[in-house]
A and B are shown apart, each in its own frame.
Chain A
Amino acid sequence: MTAAVIAQLIVSGAFMGLVYALVAYGFQLTYATSKSINFGQGEMVMVSAFVSLSLTNAGLPYWLMVPGGLLFGAVIGLFVERAGVRLALEQKSEGWILLTIILGLFFFSASENIWGRDDRPFPTPIPSQAIQIFNIDITPLEISVAVGVLTIMGLIELFKRKTLLGKAFDAVSADRDAAELMGISARRTVMLSYALSGLSAAVAGILVSPITTVGPTMASALVLKAFSVAVVAGLDSGFGVVLVGLVLGALESMTSFLIGSGWREAPGLALLILALSVRPAGVFGKALIRKV
């Protein structure tokens, strides 16, 4: 076990961790505006990836397929909001937990039947030949993951800070009624957050599929870890997800190598349960003040 091997493991793992961070970021977006998240997000990533795959197989060049996949992701996000979340929010209940689980199951089954149960390779123009940086193998694919994740997160953060609509987003997160009084429609903002969440899920799918292939296993594998990252970082913490994602990815990679690939999942899950025991609001999150 040389330092070089450890370093390699950490770096490779960290790249995957960025993908978890992106999906977790999607959770934060919807949680911020509506205190809800899509429990079926993993299935959304998978379906978006499959749709992107079909677009590519249908002959669309990569640079056209990407926006297509993103658009689909946004639309599916809107669907989840309409069908699974809005009713529960209006009734001020948590029924969206069960409803988004159900929607996820439905999409999983539909995708199994449309695209089959096998893992399929995802073609990409990005070369897979590894390059060496400081004696560590890094593939251009992995770099594209980092670039893609950070770009999307950066763009959305920029949107939130530099556009008025983005500021309105933060306003709804801070105080829904007061935002309405400014003329901001809270309902449309929640819809936007779900569209953005779906879009980031689609990006995650497109970025990671060339590495892990597209398939049914993608959904569960990705989402639980994204949950871990989101909860450990705090559902209202912003960029904390990147840090936690990197750490988790590295941990997973090491666990897989040292103990066994079947144990990959364990650190994320254990971390989640531990984090929730110690700090229910998340490592970077803020505690809530109760009002009576």
Chain B
Amino acid sequence: MGRDWRAFGSRRDREAENVLIVDNLHAGYNASEVLVGTSLEVKKGTLVGLIGPNGAGKTTTMRAISGIIKPTKGRVLFDGRPVHGKDASRIARMGLAHVPEGRHVFGPLSLEDNLLLGGYSRFPRFFGFRARANADLDRVYSIFPRLRERRKQPAGTLSGGEQQMLAIGRALMSDPKVILMDEPSMGLAPVIVEEVFATISRLKETGIPILLVEQIARGALKVADYVYVMERGRIVIEGRPSDLQKDERVIAAYLG
């Protein structure tokens, strides 16, 4: 596996044992409270899966961690420091990369610009960012060769799978201390989904801790070191994939 992958994640020199701690989180939108006491941990060097049926609150959990919505109760500790209630941009600059559900690439901007913006917190803002970014850009392109071909294209014209690769590449450009990945398989054809999971496996080998939300449980179960199952705003089952594979409760949670 190339040096390219491992070059990312160099910021994690003095990581805490628990990179991310979520403690009794409550959050919601307007009148409805979606999360009613979610707790989970992401340990150094692991990939943690968060699965569960739709409406369970997985995406809400991600957004409450990364700061897009503010939790009403509970704590989020990133690298030992409390981040609940802080602005999303501040948390991102601390090294938390969130690859959002639906990818949310910047449509009118070129693919390369999207990648450059991924490194916004690391590169100089006015001039000289290209020089600094070139090495990282090259690395992302060697990991995702298809992106190099389309580097000047507006991101909105890319296919779903390419946008997903771009979104992951964008996260890598920030040299993150932890990656939150929200339903990378959403809306993608099965063939592409396989590619995405292969990418996630390789991402795992860099040692960057990952919190992976997936609706496709089996994909998550295959790559994760530890899995949490959410239902109706709280964690209902947790454990190692090997223990959960045969657990009927997991299937029941999805299909009743």
By a beta-carbon cutoff of 8 Å, the part of chain A in contact with chain B is: 163-165, 167-168, 170-171, 174-175, 177-187
Contact = CB atoms under 8 A, between A and B. Distances in A.
Given A164-B125, A177-B68, A178-B106, A185 B87 contact: yes
Contacts of B67: 180
Interface in B67-125: 67-68, 87-90, 92-93, 97-98, 100, 104-109, 113, 116-118, 120-121, 123-125
Interface string B156-182: 000000000000001000100000000
Contacts of A170: 106, 108-109, 113
A168 B116 CA distance: 10
Nearest to B109: A170
A86 to B, nearest CB: 14
A41 to B, nearest CB: 25
A237 to B, nearest CB: 12
Contacts of B121: 182-183
A165 B104 contact: no
Contacts of B92: 180-183
Contacts of A180: 67-68, 87-89, 92
Given A174-B108, A181-B68, A182-B118, A164 B123 contact: yes
Nearest to A173: B108
A164 B124 contact: yes
A-B complex: 7 closest residue pairs judged by Cβ atoms = A183-B121, A178-B104, A180-B88, A183-B92, A183-B93, A165-B125, A185-B89
B125 A175 contact: no
A144 B174 CA distance: 44
Given A164-B126, A165-B125, A167-B117, A186 B89 contact: yes
B46 interface: no
A186 B120 CA distance: 13
Contacts of A184: 89, 117, 120
A181 B118 CA distance: 9
A181 B98 contact: yes
A180 B68 CA distance: 8
A182 B125 contact: no
A177 B100 contact: yes
Nearest to A170: B109
Given A168-B117, A174-B106, A174-B108, A181 B66 contact: yes
A242 B157 CA distance: 28
A167 B107 CA distance: 12
B165 to A, nearest CB: 16
Contacts of A187: 87
8 contacts: A164-B125, A171-B109, A174-B107, A177-B100, A181-B98, A182-B89, A182-B118, A184-B89
A179 B120 CA distance: 10
A67 B120 CA distance: 29
A183 B174 contact: yes
A27 to B, nearest CB: 19
A34 B136 CA distance: 31
Which of A167, A177, A179, A181 has the most CB atoms of chain B within a 10 A radius of its CB?
A181
Contact of A167 (B68, B87, B109): B109
A165 B68 contact: no
B30 to A, nearest CB: 11
Contacts of B88: 177, 180-181
B224 to A, nearest CB: 23
Contact of B104 (A177, A183, A186): A177
Interface string B121-133: 1011111010000
A171 B109 CA distance: 8
Contacts of A167: 109, 113, 116-117
A180 B106 CA distance: 12
Given A164-B116, A177-B68, A183 B106 contact: no
A171 B117 CA distance: 8
Contacts of B93: 183
Nearest to B128: A164
A174 B104 CA distance: 9
Given A164-B117, A182-B117, A182-B174, A175 B87 contact: no
A184 B88 CA distance: 9
